[in-house]
Amino acid sequence: MRNNRRRVIVLKNYRLETEVIHKGYDSQSFQGSLTPPLFQSSTFTMKSAEQGERRFAGEEEGYVYSRLGNPTVTVLEERIAELEGGEAGLAFSSGMAAVSATLFGLVRSGDHILVSEGVYGCTYGLLELLKDRFNVDYDLIAMDEEDHIRSYIRPETKVIYVETPINPTMKLVDLELVCKLGKEFEAKVVVDNTFATPYLQRPITFGADVVVHSATKYISGHGDVVAGLMVGSREFVNEVRMTTQKDIGGIISPFDAWLLIRGLKTLPVRMDRHCTNAVKIAEKMKAHPKVKDIIFPGDDQFPQAGIVKSQMKQAGGMISFLIDGGKETAQRFMNELQLIKIAVSLGDAETLIQHPATMTHSVVPEEKREKMGIGPELIRLSVGLEAWEDIWADIEQALEKI
């Protein structure tokens, strides 16, 4: 029911830094507007009752209602699909709306999902809901070794769901390995690419079937949007659009889509700064006596450095670290910060910090948290765009007070 007749600019052999600005939009299709217009409309008029009939019957392309499609949202969906290297994209009201719609579209009662150990707390909550109410089983496992992954795959395994880097332990999953196993066992591979973004990592090029994002994070980059994105085959995306999304209704607003289009334009520039700042901060933290350990893919001693080089452009802007002490010491350190803000999101211009065991992953039972590597001394830092010297000065003064 979307209008695909408008002329879309065709770009070939352009780099991602160019595609984030131009892909999916041609100003001449919108009366020369350089910026994609905001279609802040809930519904769209028909020229005749017969045209309405044809559009609802799927016999004619065209917009009818913004829950089913909106021109501003279409620009965003086409752009993220191109950036991720997929056939089609779908935008949602939140990252969890994207995750839940994807899983609802892939599994049925009696199916099994294999999940990378250490996923986002709300993803864990969704998996528990699927298990308790809909008889969809799951296993959280370390995906370090092929034989170990194989041992958990069942005939009813329909999805392999991974985060990489994993939130908040920063462990990586070898996408080439997981996608190979997915194809072998006919299980769909879904990758949460929130931490890396398509600028640093493109899972579909390794064989992943679906990519999801909390677009609230780096893709927005400004802390003013809650949104999600999904990219996959055109057939799967259209199926989710006209079933799960249409009937459950987790759609994005046109204004939020417009903000994400704006955010995408500066994604490469911002990610470069996030990454270089993170390297500087990690080096300083690693040398500080009150920091027990850092977990950062850009560290020279990071155990999975080979995977970083094989599937990521840079190591990202997220650092997890272990404070020398328990929960009380970690919280005291956070309370002494002045520039850095205590908040559970990430990818914003501001540097943000949170305590996973008592905040984002508090829904996960303590025994499972510990198995994931999320102990009371673990802190997660989203390195922002400020001068790295100022970020470090704030961390250093707080460390000196504990």
Q: What are phi and psi of 5, to 5 degrees?
A: -85, -15
Helices (H) then strands (E): counts for the chain: 16, 12
- Report residue 1's pLDDT band, with 50, 70 and 90 as the boundaries: low
Output the average pLDDT for the chain. 94
268-400 carries CATH number 3.90.1150.10 = yes
Helix 267-286 × helix 254-265 angle, to 10°: 70
Mean pLDDT along residues 8-23: 75
Q: Is 118 helix (H, G, I), strand (E, B) or coil?
A: coil
Q: Cβ(156)–Cβ(175) under 8 Å?
A: no
pLDDT tens figures, 211-270: 999 999 999 999 999 999 999 999 999 999 999 999 999 999 999 999 999 999 999 999
Other C-beta atoms closer than 10 Å to the C-beta of 328 total 10
Same fold, 16-265 and 268-400: no
State residue 23's pLDDT score: 83
Listed residue (98, 116, 117, 118) closest to 211, CA to CA = 98
Domain spans of the chain, in order of start: 16-265, 268-400
Q: What number of residues does the chain have? A: 402
Query: How far is Cα 182 from Cα 304, in angstroms, rounded to an integer?
Result: 21
Q: Cβ(139)–Cβ(152) under 8 Å?
A: yes
Of the two residues 31 and 338, the one the predictor is more confident about is: 338
Q: Kindly give, in sequence order, each residue whose CB lies less than 8 Å from that of residue 234, ignoring residues fewer than 6 positions away.
A: 87, 88
Could you tell me the strand order of the sheet in which 228-232 lies?
Answer: 88-92, 228-232, 210-214, 188-192, 157-163, 112-116, 137-141
Pick the CATH number of 16-265 from 3.10.25.10, 3.40.470.10, 3.40.640.10, 2.40.70.10: 3.40.640.10
Q: Cβ(72)–Cβ(254) under 8 Å?
A: yes
DSSP H helices, 204-266, are: 234-240, 246-248, 254-265
Mean pLDDT along residues 2-30: 71
Amino acid code (one letter) for 310 = S
Mean pLDDT along residues 179-199: 98
State residue 24's pLDDT score: 84
Listed residue (19, 11, 18, 20) closest to 221, CA to CA = 20
Which is it for strands 228-232 and 210-214: parallel, antiparallel or unpaired?
Answer: antiparallel
Give catalytic residue positions.
67, 120, 192, 217
pLDDT tens figures, 340-353: 999 999 999 999 99
pLDDT tens figures, 319-333: 999 998 889 999 999
Helix (H) or strand (E) holding 191: strand 188-192
State residue 118's pLDDT score: 84
pTM over 0.75: yes
State residue 28's pLDDT score: 82
Residue 373 DSSP label: T
- Report residue 7's pLDDT band, with 50, 70 and 90 as the boundaries: very low
pLDDT tens figures, 56-108: 998 999 999 999 999 999 999 999 999 999 999 999 999 999 999 999 999 99
pLDDT surpassing 60 at residue 10? no
pLDDT tens figures, 272-313: 999 999 999 999 999 999 999 999 999 999 999 999 999 999
Query: How far is Cα 317 from Cα 100, in angstroms, rounded to an integer?
Result: 26
Cα→Cα distances 143→161, 203, 225, 246, 357, Å: 11, 16, 32, 34, 22
Listed residue (166, 170, 173, 188) closest to 120, CA to CA = 166
